[in-house]
Structure 1
Amino acid sequence: MTSYKYRFEKVLTLREQERDETEMAYKEAIQQFEEIATELYNQMKKKEETLEEQQQRMATGFSIDDLHHYSRFIDMLEVKIDQTQQEVMKSRSKMNWYEAQLLEKNIEVKKFEKMKEIGKEKYDAEMEHVEANRIDELSTIKFRSKEDRW
C-alpha cells in the first residue's frame, strides 16, 4: 500500500515560504512603526516639557535672548515633530500593507491545506474500500477452499 502524496505539495511549500517571508516583513514593519512612534512621542514630550519650563521661567522673569532661544528651539521641535509624523504615517501605511499581504498569504495557504486534507480523506476512504474488497476476496477464496474439501 502506498502512502498519500499531495499533488500540489511543492506549491503548498512555496506558498508557506512566501507567507513566512511576508510575516517576517510584517514584524519588521511593526518594529519600525513602534520605533518611529516612540520617537514622535519623545519629541512631543520634549516640546511639552520645554513649553512648561518656558512658562515657569517667564513667571520668574528672564531675558529676551532666552525667550528667543526657547522660541527657536520650540520651532525646531515642531519641524521635527511634523517630519516624524509624516514618517509615522508612512510606516503605518507600510505596516497595514504587509498585514493585508499576510492575510492574503494565510488564506491561500489555508486553501491548499484544506485541499490536501480533502484529498487525504478521499484517499483514505478509497484505501478502506480497496482493503474491504481484498478482505472479501480472501474470505471468498477461503470459503470456496473449505467448500471444495467437502
Structure 2
Amino acid sequence: MKPYNYRFDKVLTYREQEKTETEVEFKGSVEAFETVANKLYDLLKKKEDILVAQQIKMTIGFSVNEIHHYSRFIGSLEKRIAEMQQQVIQARSKMNWYENKLLEKTLEVRKFEKMKEKDREHHRAEMEQLEAIQLDELSTLKFRSRENR
C-alpha cells in the first residue's frame, strides 16, 4: 500500500505561511490603531480638563492674559486633535484592510485543507478497494491451490 501524499502540500504550506504573516501584520495594525486611539483619547481628556479648569477660573475671575493663553492652548489642542483624528481614521482603515486580507487568506487555507481532506478520503477508499482486490486474488489463488491437490 502506497503512503498518502497530497499533491498540493507545498501550496497549502505556502498559503498557511501567507496567512501567518497576514495575522502578524493585522496584529501590528491593531496595536498601531490602539496607540493612536489612546493618544487621541488623552488629547480629548486634556482638552476637557482644561475647559473645566477654565470654567472654574471664570467663576473666580482671571486676567485677560490668562484668557488669551487658554484660548491659544485650546486652539493648538484642537489642531492636534484634528490631526490625531485623521491618524485614527487612517489606522482604522489600515486595520480593516488587514482584517479583510486575513479573512481572505483564512478562506484560501480552509479551501486547500478541505481539498486535502477530500483527497485523503479518496486515497483511503482507493487503498481499501485495492486491498479488497488483493485479498480476493489471494483467496482465489488459495482456493485454486486446494483444488489442484
Q: Same fold (TM over 0.5)?
A: yes
**2:14 aligned residue:** 14
Q: TM-score, normalised by structure 2?
A: 0.97
Amino acid at match of 1:105: K
Alignment partners' CA distance in 1, 2:122 and 2:79: 65
Mapped partners of 1:37, 1:63: distance in 2: 35
TM-score for the superposition, normalised by structure 1: 0.97
Q: Could you list the runs of 4 or more consecutive aligned residues of structure 1 that deviate by over 2 angstroms after TM superposition?
A: none
Aligned-residue sequence identity (percent) comes to 57
How far 1:148 sits from its partner (Å)?
Answer: 2.0
The answer to whether the aligner puts 1:121 opposite 2:121 as a matched pair is yes
CA distance in 2, matches of 1:41, 1:120: 53
User: What corresponds to 2:89 in structure 1?
Assistant: 89
**Inter-partner Cα distance in structure 1 for 2:71 and 2:3:** 77
Shift of 1:147: 2.1
Aligned partners of 2:125 and 2:4: how far apart in 1? 12
Aligned residues: 149
Aligned to 1:2: 2
Aligned-pair RMSD on alpha carbons? 0.8
Q: Which residue identity lines up with residue 140 of structure 1 in the other structure? A: T
Alpha-carbon distance, 1:141 to partner:
1.3
Task: Report the counterpart of residue 131 of structure 1 in structure 2.
Answer: 131
Partner secondary structure for residue 59 of structure 1 = helix
Stretch of structure 1 that moved more, 107-116 or 83-92: 107-116
How far off is 1:139 after superposition?
1.1
1:69-90: CA deviations, max 9, x gaps? 1111111110000000000000
Contiguous gaps of at least 5 residues in structure 1: none
In 2: Cα distance, 1:13 partner to 1:2 partner: 22
The match for 1:35 is 35
2:49 aligns with 49
Residue aligned with 2:99, SS: helix
